[in-house]
């Protein structure tokens, strides 16, 4: 699945690809993810061309990836892989040299557990994780307690402002 957000002078192109090996709540559609991504990019004043890939997967697959890429033998809720210039072929990115983006992998199993702990539904947790991954791609870090608190606060703010734009 792939979708395109509405272009404006700051955000030239938004390409979002969504793939899932796990069943997703009906609300977590390609259209909704693209809308949230578009909202985050605009709210964070990100311009240019963006290409993003979202993969929703299971805990066992996430644990395998976590071990392979981070050396940690445990599942995690999200992993973010920013695109680097050397990731593109010799001719540059498919959309040009000014493209930004990355791949975001989210564990549906972790989201289900976290949603129960947070007392909200799985769709809300998955959207919260999409927002979290986007903030990482935009340079936010959550390595320290203070940075994590600021990032989670920003996620809550972005989720609230995005929700207010969604039809009831």
Tens digit of pLDDT for each residue in 32-53? Answer: 999 999 999 999 998 888 999 9
Residue 168 has pLDDT above 80, yes or no: no
Check if the beta carbon of residue 2 is closer than 8 Å to that of residue 18: yes
The 3-state DSSP class for residue 105 equals strand
Helix (H) or strand (E) holding 134: helix 122-137
20 forms beta bridges with 56
Check if the beta carbon of residue 54 is closer than 8 Å to that of residue 78: no
Check if the beta carbon of residue 128 is closer than 8 Å to that of residue 159: yes
Burial class (CB in 10 A: 0-12, 13-18, 19+), 30: middle
> What is the per-residue pLDDT for 97?
46
Range in 1-10, 81-90, 119-128, 152-161 with the lowest mean pLDDT: 1-10
> What is the per-residue pLDDT for 72?
93
Where are the alpha helices (H) located in 23-121, listed in sequence order? 30-43, 59-70, 108-118
- Token output for 167: 């039809």
- Token output for 102: 């990355």
30-43 and 122-137 helices, crossing angle to 10° = 40
Domains of the chain: 2-163 (3.40.390.30)
């Amino acid at each position: 699945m792939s979708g395109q957000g509405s272009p404006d002078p700051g955000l030239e192109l938004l390409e979002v690809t969504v793939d899932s090996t796990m069943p997703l709540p009906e609300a977590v559609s390609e259209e909704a993810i693209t809308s949230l991504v578009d909202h985050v990019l605009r709210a964070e004043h990100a311009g240019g061309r963006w290409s993003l890939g979202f993969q929703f997967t299971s805990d066992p697959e996430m644990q395998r990836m976590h071990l392979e890429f981070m050396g940690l033998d445990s599942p995690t809720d999200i992993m973010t892989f920013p695109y680097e210039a050397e990731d593109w072929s010799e001719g540059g990115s498919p959309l040009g040299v000014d493209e930004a983006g990355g791949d975001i992998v989210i564990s549906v199993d972790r989201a289900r557990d976290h949603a129960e702990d947070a007392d909200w539904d799985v769709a809300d947790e998955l959207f919260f994780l999409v927002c979290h991954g986007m903030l990482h791609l935009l340079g936010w870090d959550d390595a320290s307690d203070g940075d994590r608190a600021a990032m989670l606060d920003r996620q809550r703010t972005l989720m609230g402002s995005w929700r207010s734009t969604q039809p009831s």
